[in-house]
């Protein structure tokens, strides 16, 4: 069954139109994507490894992300994507909105969720991800420098790195 996204103009005003996933979005139109950073009490960040069978960015580490479906809020999409991609169930109150990054055809709403889940509790999404691990912020930076992160991660994360570096074990986030 095809998935549909709500469309927005350059200023993120809803256009009252939907667009089918997989069909190129016309220039000047946008949809909303979410990026979820899961951080545990030890200040480690959860990453998942994209399957080798993925057409885009195979065998690279990423955080939880995905498109907001038609009629869904970005917060709802963030909670859904986190559950679908990792099996982690979070409440809206456990999420902090960090901001929005804009790409060529999307607005990316970035969230942080503080949640402890042992690796055994992380349930990978079949055919999407093949491994998961918790990394420290310096380890994340090394993965980025080595080119082992999916491009969207470093692009979305760069504007918010100072917030991670300033936070302590429980963090102000």
User: CA 76, CA 168: separation in Å to the nearest integer?
Assistant: 27
- According to DSSP, the β-strands at 95-102 and 61-62 are unpaired
In the three-class reduction of DSSP (H, G, I as helix; E, B as strand; rest coil), residue 116 is classed as: coil
pLDDT at residue 68 greater than cutoff 70: yes
pLDDT at residue 166 greater than cutoff 60: no
Mean pLDDT, the chain, whole residue set: 84
pLDDT at residue 16 greater than cutoff 80: yes
Q: What is the mean pLDDT of residues 25-47?
A: 92
Higher pLDDT, residue 95 or 170: 95
Residue 103 region, left (φ>0) first, then alpha (ψ -120 to 50), else beta?
beta
pLDDT at residue 158 greater than cutoff 70: no
Cα dihedral 8, 9, 14, 17 sign: negative
Q: What is the predicted pLDDT for the residue at 1?
A: 84
Structure-token pair, residue 38: 């899961």
User: CA 157, CA 101: separation in Å to the nearest integer?
Assistant: 9
CB 65 within 8 A of CB 77: no
The per-type count for the chain, helices as H runs and strands as E runs, is 4, 9
Q: What is the predicted pLDDT for the residue at 165?
A: 55
Q: What is the mean pLDDT of residues 38-49?
A: 89
Phi and psi angles of residue 21, each rounded to the nearest 5 degrees, phi first: -55, 140
Q: What is the predicted pLDDT for the residue at 168?
A: 46
Higher pLDDT, residue 72 or 124: 72
| Residue 121 neighbours by CB under 8 Å, 6+ apart | 87, 88
Phi and psi angles of residue 45, each rounded to the nearest 5 degrees, phi first: -105, 135
CATH, domain 4-166, list 3.40.50.300, 3.40.50.920, 3.90.79.10, 3.40.50.10330? 3.90.79.10
Would you place residue 169 in the very low, low, confident or very high pLDDT band (cuts 50, 70, 90)? very low
Tracing tokens 């760069």 back to the chain, one arrives at 158
CB 120 within 8 A of CB 80: no
pLDDT at residue 26 greater than cutoff 70: yes
In the three-class reduction of DSSP (H, G, I as helix; E, B as strand; rest coil), residue 151 is classed as: helix
**Predicted TM-score of the model (pTM):** 0.85
Would you place residue 71 in the very low, low, confident or very high pLDDT band (cuts 50, 70, 90)? very high
């Amino acid at each position: 069954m095809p998935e549909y996204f709500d469309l927005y103009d350059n200023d993120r005003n809803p256009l009252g139109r939907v667009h089918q996933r997989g069909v190129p979005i016309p220039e000047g139109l946008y949809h909303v994507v979410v990026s979820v950073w899961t951080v545990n009490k030890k200040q480690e960040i959860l990453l998942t490894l994209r399957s080798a069978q993925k057409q885009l960015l195979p065998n690279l580490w990423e955080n939880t992300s995905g498109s907001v479906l038609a009629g869904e809020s970005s917060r709802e999409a963030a909670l859904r994507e986190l559950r679908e991609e990792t099996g982690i169930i979070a409440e809206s109150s456990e999420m902090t909105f960090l901001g929005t990054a804009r790409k060529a055809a999307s607005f990316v709403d970035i969230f942080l969720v503080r949640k402890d889940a042992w690796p055994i509790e992380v349930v990978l999404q079949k055919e999407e991800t093949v491994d998961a691990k918790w990394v420290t912020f310096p380890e994340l930076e090394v993965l980025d420098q080595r080119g082992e992160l999916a491009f969207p991660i470093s692009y979305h994360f760069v504007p918010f790195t100072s917030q991670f570096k300033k936070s302590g074990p429980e963090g102000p986030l």
